[in-house]
Amino acid sequence: MERKKPFVKSETNNEYAFNEDRLEGRNPVLEALKAGREIDKILVQKGEREGSILKILAMAKEKKIVVQEVEKAKLDSLSSTRAHQGVIAFVAAHEYVEVEDMLSNAKDRREDPFIIILDEVTDPHNLGSVLRTANAVGVHGVIIPKRRSVGLTAAVAKASAGAVEYVPVARVSNLAQTIDKLKKEGLWIAGADAQGKQAFYEADLKGPVAIVIGSEGEGIGRLVKEKCDFLVNIPMKGQISSLNASVAAAVLMYEVVRQREQS
């Protein structure tokens, strides 16, 4: 898949309206929407409801892009051009895929599907690290939610050490519904949770599997946890009671690899 450049040229001047993973100004954001650019979310100044802003809001709604209303001071603090015109869009550092693409990827490789699901992981360094390990162990894809989760930002791309170019990532509106779809495709869903009844190395992680990793602070959400077929814990021997999301994910990913190689 060809990577798109993370900027759109503004018609109002000769400068490019971008700052790593941001588009600033009404025309650049509108043109990005028209061109089908991958956009994680759009910030709109409170009270702005006229002209091209209305077009941006309508197109964002149609494309199911998250829109947040914020104060002008917030946009001012984020803006590098000082010409945001009441709107800033955060664009993806790489294109997203569909969950079906991941399953097709596994089928093409004649392998059992191996997928990672991240529930509201907001730290870009954690997501980047997960992608890096996912590439190392041959994961077929990583699934993240559209809301309350970091997307494929420039910071994530950097933390992934290039893995963002190779590991397919899907953004979905509803993790619980996505898990149901994966179950219909024959995958077992294992959640990493401190309350899991068995240690991760005691669970059967062979065959088609998706591993669910929760957020840095709250862990796996209740609805998603209820959708898991079983929960596993990572035994902790020291004074610290938990690992961060990327480390927990790495431990479980390599356990899947270990079990598959020994089967």
| Residue 216: pLDDT over 80 | no
User: Which residues are 141's β-sheet partners?
Assistant: 115
**131 and 172: one domain?**
yes
**67 and 107: one domain?**
no
Per-residue pLDDT, 140? 97
Q: Which range, of 79-88, 201-210, 252-261, averages the lowest pLDDT? A: 79-88
**132 and 252: one domain?**
yes
User: Do 193 and 232 form a contact (C-beta atoms < 8 A)?
Assistant: yes
**103 and 52: one domain?**
no
User: Do 224 and 212 form a contact (C-beta atoms < 8 A)?
Assistant: yes
Per-residue pLDDT, 23? 86
State whether residue 259 is helix, strand or coil. helix
The domain boundary, picked from 37, 65, 91, lies at 91
The DSSP code sequence of 126-188 is HHHHHHHHHHHHT--EEEEESSSS--S-HHHHHHTTTGGGTS-EEEES-HHHHHHHHHHTT-E
**190 and 242: one domain?**
yes
Range of the domain at 74: 22-91
Mean local confidence (pLDDT), 85-103 = 91
The verdict on residue 138 lying in a domain is yes
- Mind listing the pLDDT tens digit for each residue in 68-87? 999 999 999 988 778 888 99
- Mind listing the pLDDT tens digit for each residue in 170-195? 999 999 999 999 999 999 999 999 88
What tokens appear for 40 in the block? 């994680």
The verdict on residue 184 lying in a domain is yes
Phi, psi for 220 (deg, rounded to 5): -75, 135
- Mind listing the pLDDT tens digit for each residue in 17-68? 334 578 888 988 898 898 888 888 999 999 877 888 999 999 999 998 989 9
The domain boundary, picked from 91, 116, 133, lies at 91
Distance CA 249, CA 94 (A): 22
User: Which residues are 69's β-sheet partners?
Assistant: 44
Kindly provide the residue ranges of all beta strands, DSSP E only, lying in the chain, ordered along the sequence. Answer: 22-24, 39-45, 66-70, 87-91, 114-118, 141-145, 169-172, 188-192, 198-199, 209-213, 230-233
Rounded to the nearest integer, the mean pLDDT of the chain is 87
Per-residue pLDDT, 1? 37
- Mind listing the pLDDT tens digit for each residue in 138-168? 999 999 998 888 888 888 888 898 899 899 9
| Residue 100: pLDDT over 70 | yes
User: Do 68 and 43 form a contact (C-beta atoms < 8 A)?
Assistant: yes
**115 and 204: one domain?**
yes
The verdict on residue 212 lying in a domain is yes
**111 and 85: one domain?**
no
Mean local confidence (pLDDT), 84-100 = 90
The structural domain count of the chain equals 2
pTM exceeding 0.85: no
Mean local confidence (pLDDT), 232-256 = 91
